[in-house]
Amino acid sequence: MKNKFAICFNDEISGYIDVVSKLEFLLQDNSLVYSKFNVNNLSSDCDFVFVIGGDGTILKAARYYSSLDVPIFGINIGHLGFLSQASDNNLESAFFKIINNDYKIENRVMLTCGDNIALNDFVIKGSEASRASKFSLQINNKFVCDYFADGLIISTPTGSTAYGMASGGPILSPETDAIEIVPICPHTFSARPIVVPSDSEIKISAKNNQKYCVSADGQIVFESSDNLIIRKSDYCAKLVLLDDNDFFSVLRNKLNWGFSPISEINKGK
């Protein structure tokens, strides 16, 4: 059993108070030590974290706790919740699985670019958002191609169900040891997503002193006119998973796989 639990919540998402209260009651009723704090004021004084919010909340917590080797468990009160394992409806059953050690920890690949780290992706766009830009791609110091596009997405398998999927990239199973590169609205039909081994070094070179706007997980944004080097991070996000919530069941539930559009329409009548 863990020594010190923590409740991390996002107070910008409605419904967080009820979930925090339920979790506090369960922790107190089982005589467990815990602390609680806002996602904007994270604390290192814990060894297991319940994260209450949407995927954005979990991403922020995952980046912080990856270097501390602390596992996190997502409780969704947001929208899709790809990274969550529980919701308000099944919180109690999930809680007892956790305190009885009936779970597994999955180490998720993360990426680094300079001093920044990402669990989902790095998205690179031109500093002029209304115009397409040039991107020169190298992998392991070998020239691949020049893109003329709205941007490039350098994504982990975890991030493949986010911006990468929306931009036409493949969905990668989380345990896949790979990185995907997805062009955003390229100005040629021959440009396609690329999947490379996770130990690859990806370099995006600026053309003619052009500035790039880079975002990590859509949350940390910075500008650069230098070459961008993106690699696999030395740290992993430690996501707590329940046995009955495998990756493919999450895809079926979140993306409505296996249902025709007509059946979904009729179900709502």
Those residues whose C-beta lies under 8 Å from the C-beta of residue 218, and which sit 6 or more positions away, are 56, 120, 123, 163
Rounded to the nearest angstrom, the gap between the alpha carbon of residue 176 and the centroid of all alpha carbons in its chain is: 15
The one catalytic residue in 45, 47, 55, 217 is: 55
Angle between helix axes 16-29 and 91-99 (nearest 10 degrees) is 40
Both tokens of 167, joined, read 């931009």
Nearest Cα to Cα of residue 87 among 96, 72, 74: 74
DSSP state of 122: E
Active site residue 55: yes
Whole-angstrom distance, CA of residue 6 vs CA of residue 35: 5
- Residues with a catalytic annotation lie at 55
